[in-house]
Chain A
């Protein structure tokens, strides 16, 4: 008795693990068993494999076939192992060369007619296949473009089990003509900042937030354009670099039931409804994991409209990701690490009726309602927000502090270019440190004698700190924003105006 083997990939979040799929034929009555911690969908595979082989003209050995998936302790789920199991069963039945299959990875679900279908997460699976160092990966032909985003491993698109078997025999040359467009243009046109009228100061604040990835909270009466601004925030973020683009595209691949057409270069935005559960926020499912909105918003924007209406539990799940840029989940059968590096932007009304502090209309809320409403956003959460915008009031307060070229409406493309320029200056300045954006820099670096602005420039911050308007963390966060302002204005280090502006953004009003 010989055991034949080939490979498949099990996904744990975005991490792909190479799975060895073995088959052995033993002299017992015909039958098939799958061992190695399969879930129900995977155990059902034996029916699909039998019928698909029959319809592809493959005669499985009329004996007992044992399929083993190892390492056995790793939970495996879904139908993505079908192709690997069918191929190795074919080999064990004496119809295929052992050499070819033992160097290939197989990804795909089988239809009863032998068709190879897409399963979720083809891109991260192909990435794992490449890392394994094996020579080829067979993918459903509908996912050729998605698989071809990975370079450095031979991609073999197959439409049917028959084609896969033929390829291993050397009788099938796959069609590879599908052209991959690397810079996929935006699928739907992003909305443009130039649509926003009369909120240049708020746009400026968002520009600063975009430079350093500083989190934003906007407060304002209904109809002042909070949602309009937030929805346009992704349009001023620069294109994703290669690494981030692969991450964002992998997340899309895992959560989408359709094949991915090309690399996603534009930052995503997620704007969940305020009824969202904590599980939907962080990611759900203990066997087959579905990424949460914080992961889907990674490298992009997470917009919480009507933030105080969200459940406290859902909001508090944001704390760890805001600090670490990732989320670590542990459930019954699951230990998963997912990216969650997003720019948070929250919009809220100043009070339940929406008009507290408004100059146009008087507020009808009771004092106690007002307190309860404001307390819904916890201190620890708000403390992680660097840019506090009072949308109705920004005009009078900030205009004098803004550089001249900021005054006047600009389109998203122009702003995006300036953000990209500022980010480049940040990166250059931070070369040799572990950080690449102002939002990430550690307090020790900010307060280091060679980096801290001189006492005259620091005066407003020191003053605010001594008046207890700023916490120690608040001082650091204000400095980070001041650096973003300096980078935006081509300054080698923050000026006093930058510090004043950062302070205003931090405290909200003065």
Chain B
């Protein structure tokens, strides 16, 4: 029973995450960027989206929340997480050798409150 509940909760979280990533992809495609990878996996971790903004490769971390009761979604990205994202995008660059001039890391926060339009907050060039 307990395990069942946990599973259902997890699957809801996964669904919400998936929904957020889909919305993020729509958002950047609307801005004219080209998505080259989704959920690129590596032993160190995962990159949610990799897209090309002109000749810059951008790794995008997507954070989705259904409320702001526990802070804004972007607050969940810690310095350690950011370090890991940087390492991952270098790793991706090393493996795929894309024809780009620069690489960087962005974050997109998606707030999906039931009954309202989703709100997207795109923070570029994390430092």
Residues of A within 8 A of B (CB): 27-31, 59, 62-63
Contact = CB atoms under 8 A, between A and B. Distances in A.
Interface string B97-123: 000000000010100000000000101
B72 to A, nearest CB: 4
Interface stretch (B13-21, B46-54, B74-82): B74-82
B124 interface: yes
A31 B107 CA distance: 15
A29 B77 contact: yes
Interface string B53-91: 000000000000000100111110100001000000000
A29 B124 contact: no
Given A62-B72, A62-B75, A62-B109, A29 B121 contact: no
B44 interface: no
Contact of A30 (B74, B124, B125): B74
Specify which of A30, A31, A59 lies most central, judged by the most chain B CB atoms within 10 Å of its CB: A30
26 contacts: A27-B123, A27-B124, A27-B125, A28-B123, A28-B126, A28-B127, A29-B74, A29-B75, A29-B77, A29-B82, A29-B107, A29-B123, A29-B126, A30-B71, A30-B72, A30-B74, A30-B75, A31-B75, A59-B68, A62-B72, A62-B73, A62-B74, A62-B75, A62-B109, A62-B121, A63-B123
Contacts of B121: 62
Given A30-B74, A62-B72, 20 more contacts: A27-B123, A28-B123, A28-B126, A28-B127, A29-B74, A29-B75, A29-B77, A29-B82, A29-B107, A29-B123, A29-B126, A30-B71, A30-B72, A30-B75, A31-B75, A59-B68, A62-B73, A62-B75, A62-B109, A62-B121
Contacts of B82: 29
Contacts of A29: 74-75, 77, 82, 107, 123, 126
Specify which of A27, A28, A29, A59 lies most central, judged by the most chain B CB atoms within 10 Å of its CB: A29
Contacts of A62: 72-75, 109, 121
Contacts of B77: 29
A236 B116 CA distance: 75
Contacts of A28: 123, 126-127
Interface of B: 68, 71-75, 77, 82, 107, 109, 121, 123-127
A419 B121 CA distance: 75
A503 B88 CA distance: 93
- 9 pairs of A and B residues whose beta carbons are closest in the complex: A62-B72, A30-B75, A30-B74, A62-B74, A29-B77, A30-B72, A29-B74, A28-B127, A29-B126
A262 B44 CA distance: 66
Contacts of B125: 27
Nearest to B79: A29
A27 B75 CA distance: 13
A63 B125 CA distance: 13
A92 to B, nearest CB: 15
A339 B125 CA distance: 56
B21 to A, nearest CB: 19
B10 to A, nearest CB: 26
Contacts of B75: 29-31, 62
A30 B68 CA distance: 13
Contacts of B107: 29
A141 to B, nearest CB: 29
A359 to B, nearest CB: 82
A95 B55 CA distance: 37
Contacts of A30: 71-72, 74-75
Nearest to A27: B123
Nearest to A59: B68
A30 B77 CA distance: 9
Nearest to A54: B71
Contacts of B72: 30, 62
Nearest to A60: B72
Contacts of B71: 30
A60 to B, nearest CB: 9
A27 to B, nearest CB: 6
A459 to B, nearest CB: 87
B77 to A, nearest CB: 5
